[in-house]
Chains A and B, each alone.
Chain A
Amino acid sequence: MTKGVSRISYSAAINQGLRQAMELSDRVFVYGIGADGKSGIFGTTTGLVETFGAKRVFDTPIAEQALTALAAGAANGGLRPVLIHQRFDFMLYSMDQIVNWMALWRFISGGKAKMPVTIRTIVGKGWGQGAQHSKSLHTWFAHVPGLQVVVPGSPADAKGLLLASIMSDDPTIFIEGRSLFSMQEDVPDEPYFIKLGKAFVRRPGKDLTLVAFGSMIPSALEAADRLSADGVEVEIVDLRCLAPLDMETVTASVARTGRLVVAEPGWLRYGAAAEIIAGVAEAVGDSLKAKPRRVTWPHGYAGTSSALETDFYPTTDDVVTACRGVLGR
């Protein structure tokens, strides 16, 4: 499949994914506040307007409701819009358009319509972004039938999942972690598409299943390395997508390891981790050798002070501790 591979960052991989999607189909256009590269949205859109012109890459007023509705109408009209929110928190203005229109558009059409919209949204986590700039409300959207929720945890995944999202005929909330943007990885130069709704076993292991996604992936990988040094082999299941949710891969792994930790870059209550543990309990609960654990954000807000922020977010140590707890060692 691959001709060449380059070591590039998460933001460069997203930039490449957008560029290649636009090359593949002239029905793809990219817009949002700052999308035409004046700020470059962390480098993810830099250079696009120079290549594709202002018709296909444009800046917008701060009007999230109409911008989101524009995506829905344009998709119904045959285009493949990519709308970008620099901060997740701002897209809450567009909940009506996403939940009341996009998500159920196909259903109310009696299965005739498509809604190929991609909404890129960035979780601001870190550098004092505070309570209004760092929320991750992935579960809100994963709860709504008809929406795809994609949570890439590495550069290669970001590119392949973004290309698949843009070319998918269903509406997709594509959630990026700002804290991942300079993460480097070998990424194929050619366009490629990772099918949505399939989890990925990032590291095989026999002793414990560690389910993680998004910005918890680096901590999960580090934790597995550290535990491996102690002779414990952790299997890392990267969900990649919260919707569709690939419970088969998770339950197959837990059925083998008998132990489960879920690391979620978001709040504890009613979260994805709770859904995973419930699904495991229902499907293979009798194969659990120990009580599962969750590593999540606390049920509160990240204060801007570095002292508060550092305390708020779970670290590799927290993942290691949770795994050791489940392992009883």
Chain B
Amino acid sequence: MSKDLSASLDLYRSMQRIRRVEEALIEAYHPANEMRCPIHFCVGQEAAPAALGMALGPDDVIYSHYRSHGYYMTKGASLEAMVAEFYGRQTGANGGVAGSMELADHEHHIYSGAIVGGMAGLAIGQAFAQKYLGESAITVAVFGDGAMDEGINYESIGLAVLKQLPVLFLCENNLYAAHAPVAVRTRAPSLTGRAAAFGIETETIPDSDPDLLRARVADIVDGVRRESRPFFLEIETYRFCGHVGPESDDAMAYRPLEEIQARKAADPLGALRRKLEASSAHNQLGAIDAKIEAEIVEVIAAARKAPFPDPAWAKTIVSADSYDPLVKELIEGAVGEFRGAQSESKLAPY
């Protein structure tokens, strides 16, 4: 099998796994009401996380928005722990304290958060540390077009350029900030145009051809790593599911029905599958799909059997109450012999 075909199959496996996990969770969400947290599914948007996951190494770091499941999975973190997290279990990725919106795996360096735009700022800090410590790892900030309305994104892009930080700003443009279309948010819709004003290299790629996206993302990630500089990548995509929760929100009519139908008809995963069905690897698809289905059944069953976290434990994890081992033995109670007794300063003019 050619290298390209093998990569295509990997990409398909990754996208299909994300798609089917999301669909299975959507299906399981309501009947038992056991997943008791807001979940933002990413059905339709699988190509970006799948392509990124193939480009990154284990030490690279992702700070994602709350629609993070795809990035979490392709970063190599445990699917069982993700599902258990949504079920609020002790075996969850965050021990059951975070749910979907702040899903994270500190060993696999994937973090997410609910406050729009916040992750871009943390990402530049991580990239700063990587450069400071001379590491070869890079950081990816994942956010949506809605986050491009937040000021912190611009401050962060500016600082990343100023300090030449190894950070990829990956903006998933799905055209809607929750339910707000572009037209109600800006008269300057070019996201790359805004980013470019800060002196960062930019590119826009649609996710309609996942293989093309994969190849280009790999090049861009290599460039960020090799040259230790930031890059702004806009990936044009489309969300097939509702903004939040398992139900479709199409009845709100915030998106034209024709648009939804056209985008679903042009499903990137469907396009990739058709391409593979026509390839010499067509006979492998069945086994890939079957393995994914079996895994899903297994992880949902495991999550539902797992214990709930201990409320007493949750109260102990707010503060570390610890110090750098360098100085631990030097921490002491007081410098009691020093007792200043004097007036406040006379202030100099200023």
Contact = CB atoms under 8 A, between A and B. Distances in A.
A101 B332 contact: no
Contact of B347 (A79, A97, A178, A225): A178
A287 interface: no
A244 to B, nearest CB: 8
A167 interface: yes
Interface stretch (B10-18, B173-181, B185-193, B311-319): B311-319
B159 A72 contact: no
B118 A97 contact: yes
A13 to B, nearest CB: 10
Looking at B96, B125, B347, the one whose CB has the most chain A CB atoms below 10 A away is: B125
The main secondary structure of chain B at its interface with chain A is loop
B315 to A, nearest CB: 10
Contacts of A160: 335
B322 A169 contact: yes
B279 interface: no
A184 B342 contact: yes
Given A67-B159, A101-B115, A155-B340, A76 B125 contact: yes
B47 interface: no
Contacts of B120: 69
B3 interface: no
Which of under 10, 10 to 19, 20 to 34, or 35 or more describes the interface residues of A? 35 or more
Interface residues of B, number: 70
A108 B129 CA distance: 21
B326 A24 contact: yes
Interface in B74-98: 92-98
Nearest to A163: B327
Interface string A163-184: 1100111100000011111111
A66 interface: yes
B122 interface: yes
B94 A106 contact: no
B326 A73 contact: no
Contacts of A203: 339
B122 A65 contact: no
B327 A167 contact: yes
A156 B132 contact: no
Given A74-B125, A218-B344, 4 more contacts: A70-B125, A73-B125, A77-B126, A184-B342
8 contacts: A69-B122, A70-B121, A108-B102, A110-B96, A110-B98, A194-B333, A218-B344, A244-B319
